Amino acid sequence: MKIAVVGGTFDPFHNGHLAVCEAVSALADVDRVLVVPARQSPLKEGETGAPGPARLAMAAAAVAHLPKCEVSDLELSRPGPSFTIDTLEELSRRHPGDQVALVIGADQWPIFHTWKDYDKIGG
């Protein structure tokens, strides 16, 4: 199985996020699109916003019509900041043999090199 991971704070989950989920669902060679709201972005520490359960519900409502999409509370259920590498490693443990791919936005690409263990992602 091929799983595409779309992560973010999703505060709020907006039309741009939905467009990414729709495009990945329709155009990418994937079986599942996993939408993963972050507990706390390490790049946005100190910022407050909507609580995790509300962001999870917003994301779930937004992608409910997309059969390949599902929303995960994986990062919300872990303490501390949400590091993408930890999420990808956990998904690989939970789904051995599956291919897990990360989808990131154009806003994150210029700062991707600042992410924890960025060099281990996609390699």
Give all strands of the β-sheet with 2-8 in edge-to-edge order. Answer: 69-71, 32-37, 2-8, 99-103
Do residues 8 and 49 touch, judged by C-beta distance below 8 A? Answer: no
pLDDT in tens, 43-102: 666 666 899 999 999 999 999 999 999 999 999 999 988 899 999 999 999 999 999 999
Which domains does the chain show, CATH number per domain?
2-120 (3.40.50.620)
pTM of the model: 0.92
pLDDT in tens, 88-109: 999 999 999 999 999 998 888 9
User: CA 66: distance to chain centroid?
Assistant: 16
Q: Kindly state the average pLDDT of the residues 106-116.
A: 92
Q: What percent of the chain has pLDDT over 90?
A: 82
